[in-house]
């Protein structure tokens, strides 16, 4: 029976291409060196062996899926949102393998590395991932949450997590939520506002993670300032085009594109609001053919015609005396 190279090396030199990682630094070193197998203590509990798997570029989307409880919204992973790793990956390939677990149907669920996965799909590169067996949902959630610490979540994604905490009863209000998440109440408010916005609105942007609290507050005020019917029309307009709104903007640079998208959304909101027609008060006739007047708040305009010089003097003298 043929002996694998790594097994032969183990017999000859007393070592195998295998790492046991007990700290994040050791795990990163093992990942960088692309050891064939690494052992990780998941959530500080049982140790799991992860085998390095290479998935060919054309099969990444089919053979892998992202952990459904991953806080990162996959729909937001555009070319702009992945710009920090996409250019390097296109030139050199994937530098650090992702981490996942085997599913019963033979596919792989990505727990750490959903951004690397999408980058490989967009760049048409092979996907490297360490895959373990027998990882339960609790440990899968732990690995997924730890991974998201490397790249901050967007306000929308943080807001979704906060909504889940409120709905589960772990916290009762925004004040407790701020303490639990170790952030300001202003950030909590902004994140919850972001999470309440429709996906169609947020996906109009090239990178949702670039949207700060001021923009989110502006969008929240814009969208929820519309009636329910107007909101439906607003979302309908965003769905009309085949491409996302940001792709239709004739500008370069993520900051400028983001600003232009916001301006476009504000203009769209204005077109949907019914124009308020303010009726101006009309002059009324006091003495037919001679005197008309116009009242507007505390203002009164008199228009007098066909007056003799004496009548005009008397009226002016009366007004001056009356309004002293």
Per-residue pLDDT, 249 = 87
Per-residue pLDDT, 223 = 94
pTM of structure: 0.61
- Whose CA is closest to 212, among 268, 247, 255, 180? 255
Contact between residue 194 and residue 73 where contact means Cβ atoms under 8 Å apart: no
- Whose CA is closest to 40, among 20, 17, 16, 18? 20
The 10s digit of each residue's pLDDT in 235-244 is 988 887 677 8
Per-residue pLDDT, 304 = 86
Would you say the C-alpha torsion 12, 17, 23, 29 has a positive or negative sign?
A: positive
Per-residue pLDDT, 3 = 37
The contacts of residue 194 (CB under 8 Å, 6+ apart) are: 154, 155, 156, 158, 159, 202, 211, 216, 220
**Beta-bridge partner residues of 291:** 287, 304
* pLDDT < 50 positions in the chain: 1-17, 21-22, 24
Per-residue pLDDT, 260 = 93
Instruction: Determine the distance from the C-alpha atom of residue 41 to the mean position of all C-alpha atoms in its chain, rounded to a whole number.
Output: 32
The 10s digit of each residue's pLDDT in 299-311 is 888 888 888 888 8
Euclidean distance between the first and the last CA atom of the chain, given in angstroms as a whole number: 118
Per-residue pLDDT, 34 = 59
Per-residue pLDDT, 14 = 36
Contact between residue 73 and residue 157 where contact means Cβ atoms under 8 Å apart: yes
């Amino acid at each position: 029976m043929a002996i694998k190279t790594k097994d032969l090396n183990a017999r000859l030199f007393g070592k195998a291409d295998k790492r046991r990682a007990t700290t994040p630094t050791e795990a990163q070193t093992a990942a960088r060196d692309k050891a064939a197998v690494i052992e990780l203590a998941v959530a500080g509990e049982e140790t799991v062996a992860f085998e390095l798997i290479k998935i060919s570029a054309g099969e990444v989307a089919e053979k892998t899926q992202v952990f459904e409880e991953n806080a990162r919204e996959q729909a937001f992973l555009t070319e702009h949102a992945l710009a920090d790793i996409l250019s390097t990956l296109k030139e050199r390939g994937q530098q650090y393998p992702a981490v996942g677990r085997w599913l019963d149907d033979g596919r792989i669920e990505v727990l750490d590395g959903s951004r690397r996965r999408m980058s490989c799909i967009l760049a048409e590169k092979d996907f490297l991932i360490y895959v373990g067996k027998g990882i339960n949902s609790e440990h899968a959630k732990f690995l997924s949450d730890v991974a998201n610490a490397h790249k901050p979540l967007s306000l929308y994604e943080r807001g979704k997590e906060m909504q889940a905490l409120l709905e589960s009863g772990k916290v009762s209000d925004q004040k407790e939520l701020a303490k639990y998440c170790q952030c300001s109440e202003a950030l909590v408010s902004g994140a919850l506002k972001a999470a309440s916005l429709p996906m169609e609105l947020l996906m109009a942007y090239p990178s949702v993670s670039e949207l700060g609290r001021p923009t989110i507050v502006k969008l929240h005020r814009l969208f929820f300032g519309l009636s329910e019917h107007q909101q439906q029309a607003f979302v309908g307009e965003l769905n009309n085009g085949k491409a996302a709104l940001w792709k239709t903007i004739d500008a370069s640079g993520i900051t400028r594109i983001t600003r232009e998208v916001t301006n476009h959304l504000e203009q769209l909101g204005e077109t949907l609001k019914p124009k308020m027609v303010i009726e101006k008060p009309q002059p009324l006739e006091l003495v037919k053919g001679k005197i008309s007047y116009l009242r507007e708040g505390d203002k009164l305009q008199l228009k007098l015609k066909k007056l003799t010089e004496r009548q005009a003097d008397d009226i002016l003298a009366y007004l001056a005396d009356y309004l002293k």
